[in-house]
Structure 1
Amino acid sequence: MSDPALPHADVRPRHPYRLPEDRRPKYARARRLEWWTLGWLASIIAVIYWAMGSSAAMQAAWIEDLLSLVPPIAFLWASRFEFRAPNDRFPFGYLRSMQIAYLGASVALLMLGGYLVVDALLTLAQGERPTIGATLPLGGWLFDDPIWAGWVMIAALIYSVIPPMILGRMKLKLADELHDDVLACDAKMNKADWMTGLAGAFGVLGVGYGWWWADAVAAGLIGLDVTRDGARGTAQVVADLMDHVPTGVGDRSADPLPGELREQLLALDWVEDVEFRLREQGRAVTGTIFVSPKADAVTTAEDLMNRLREAERLAETTHWRLYDLDVRPVRQLKTAVDRRAEPPG
């Protein structure tokens, strides 16, 4: 039986997308950072679990650290597919694999934040009072008398703060240089990790002072911040998958790339005006450019084809993210028609 999903023989895949030479070492460094992140997170998860006890803030920190594994795993998974060459089955390539990974990472943030908020509210509503008793660390090898278990929890939380704080700052810079939303989302998750550690430490101290509610309040405040980041990320990646116009890394700010492209194309002596229909596919920007030639600038069909190829080469060399742009000639641009349709005065 034939496979109905098999492509037609006349499919023409697009040419492969490749990072420029100066970005490849940064991409390799981002992959190494994600492997380092997985290693550090594994150790943090083990330490927090060992010291957790009945503290709501500690439990929130542990669950957050577990979900923090999603963004680096998503990035490493997507990096295996992103630069695969387009083929007959996937003629547009695999660039959206990074957006799929971004969706997974953002949903993980959203789920984490929602869980923390709901759990904190239930704890406060039920009036649950965490008990932090005494413990004898390392079987009495260090001290003869038991010490308060809260100090063990705080030490574990402080340990959980340091690696995410360092790794997150390193990832943010690379995310901007590579225009990588998944890396930016992971950096936000790292920020949530170290904020959780600090807030959890204050919550444990509050319990020690008799403020039973401090533990749950700390966990709830953490959850609100994480939920906000997850909701923003999820909304953005859904918009990207629906071919939203290009935006900044990890937010909805306007991408300056169309303005740079317009400036370059208007410098051509035969171009009267240009318009764009651009979208993001992962870190790449692709789409259609509509060019209105100047009167009498193009005389033959062959001349028009040569000039369109010139515009296409110029466009794709304007910025490393521009890829597989389709340049089309038009007699009149939509903006010109709209201007003519406006009522006078």
Structure 2
Amino acid sequence: MIADSDIPDEVREGLSRGRTLCLWTLFWLGTISILMYLVMGQSQAMKTAFIEDVLSLVPSITFLIAASLEHKPPSQKFPFGFKRFNSIAFLISATALLSIGSFMAYEAVMGLLKMEHPSIGAISVFGVELWLGWVMLAALAYSAIPPVILGRMKKPIAEKIEDKVLFTDAQTQKADWQTALAGMVGVVGIGLGIWWADAAAALFISLSILRDGWKAIGKSAAELADGAPRELDSQEIDTEAQEVMDKLAQAFPRSSARVRESGRYMLAQVTGPDAVGPIDIEDFCPQKRPWRLAELSLIERESDRT
């Protein structure tokens, strides 16, 4: 169990910065969502961008909740603590990202199959007729700026403190600005009379988002199923987890070693005839970030005792 007083300084600092960025994300995405709703008109890409912006609030919200619970002390109902709330938040965030891509792809495909010909009207501004497309383009340009900045700021923090929720949030921010670009292409296409540009742009962007969402779902499922720890950006075995397993295999050659992940932390178990102490857990911690190995248990099986 990682008590609040034992939180590594880099994790404490990263969580603090992550909370600040997520609060700013909620503010900026809130203003973007309102603006999108007001100007979306009949554009499919604009409607998709609006729904995507609303769904993009989910990873930041789940990060804030998980960060507030992660290091609470154990209770009677949660005797092993709350570290795994980060894993649950990761699954929710991954589901939100996959939902964004799925929704975009579905709406785009349906638009192409129905051969919809969206139109963009005009509005009167101080007695002057103004094509609504210009307003849409301005709104989309505005909606792309905060996600680019926030996503780039979140990613290195997530990598430093091994936070999959914040990393997924950064990927969601990438989906935000990509959707905005797709929307701009679609609006320009409508203005030029290219009816399919709107849906085609949304479909093209959705494929990248679907790929990221599917990878995140796979990693979150593996974590909840006590699979071996995975890298942040791939399904490969985490290099630090492999380092821990190699050290355990060398120290306990006649036993089997397993490492699983609970949030950002790793929990190791050695089972076999030579799985006896005393030991110093620091001898088996990964060199770069020793705080990641939070627990090491030794189990000498009854059948192996002499």
TM-score normalised to structure 1 length: 0.80
Q: CA deviation at 1:226?
A: 2.0
Amino acid at match of 1:233: A
Q: CA deviation at 1:244?
A: 0.6
Q: CA deviation at 1:225?
A: 2.2
2:189 maps to 1:189: no
Superimposed CA distance per residue, residues 278-300 of structure 1 (whole angstroms, 9 cap, x where no aligned partner): 1001111002035876xxxxxxx
2:59 maps to 1:83: no
Compared with structure 1, are the counterparts of its residues 259 and 171 closer, same or farther at alpha carbon in structure 2 (3 Å cutoff)? same
| Secondary structure of 1:132 counterpart | coil
Compared with structure 1, are the counterparts of its residues 66 and 187 closer, same or farther at alpha carbon in structure 2 (3 Å cutoff)? same
Output the CA distance in 2 between the equivalents of 1:167 and 1:78: 19
Superimposed CA distance per residue, residues 4-62 of structure 1 (whole angstroms, 9 cap, x where no aligned partner): xxxxxxxxxx5647421233112100111000100000111111112111100000000
2:263 to 247, 266, 282: 282
Q: Is contact 2:286-2:292 (8 Å) kept? A: no
Q: Is contact 1:312-1:327 (8 Å) kept? A: no
Output the CA distance in 1 between the equivalents of 2:262 and 2:250: 27
2:74 maps to 1:74: no
In structure 1, the residue matched to 2:292 is 321
Q: Is contact 1:265-1:314 (8 Å) kept? A: no
Q: CA deviation at 1:121?
A: 1.6
TM-score normalised to structure 2 length: 0.90
1:150 to 106, 128, 133: 133
Alignment root-mean-square deviation, CA: 2.5
Task: Quote the sequence identity (%).
Answer: 39
2:112 maps to 1:124: yes
Q: Which has the higher helix share?
A: 2
Superimposed CA distance per residue, residues 313-332 of structure 1 (whole angstroms, 9 cap, x where no aligned partner): 433585111012113468xx
2:99 maps to 1:111: yes
| Secondary structure of 2:297 counterpart | strand
Output the CA distance in 2 between the equivalents of 1:196 and 1:65: 9
Q: How many aligned positions are there? A: 301
In structure 1, the residue matched to 2:87 is 99
Superimposed CA distance per residue, residues 181-231 of structure 1 (whole angstroms, 9 cap, x where no aligned partner): 111111111000000001110110011111011111112222222222222
Q: Mark the runs of 5 or more structure 2 residues left unpaired by the alignment.
A: none
Q: CA deviation at 1:94?
A: 0.9
Larger radius of gyration: 1
In structure 1, the residue matched to 2:193 is 210
| Secondary structure of 1:287 counterpart | strand
Q: Is contact 1:16-1:86 (8 Å) kept? A: no
Output the CA distance in 2 between the equivalents of 1:273 and 1:260: 18
2:121 maps to 1:133: yes
1:44 to 11, 29, 32: 32
1:19 to 7, 29, 36: 7
In structure 2, the residue matched to 1:56 is 44
Output the CA distance in 1 between the equivalents of 2:56 and 2:132: 26
Compared with structure 1, are the counterparts of its residues 36 and 249 closer, same or farther at alpha carbon in structure 2 (3 Å cutoff)? same
Compared with structure 1, are the counterparts of its residues 310 and 116 closer, same or farther at alpha carbon in structure 2 (3 Å cutoff)? same
Compared with structure 1, are the counterparts of its residues 267 and 101 closer, same or farther at alpha carbon in structure 2 (3 Å cutoff)? closer
Q: Is contact 2:2-2:294 (8 Å) kept? A: no
In structure 2, the residue matched to 1:260 is 243
1:310 to 279, 286, 289: 279
Q: CA deviation at 1:311?
A: 3.5
2:166 maps to 1:167: no
Q: CA deviation at 1:262?
A: 5.0
In structure 2, the residue matched to 1:32 is 20
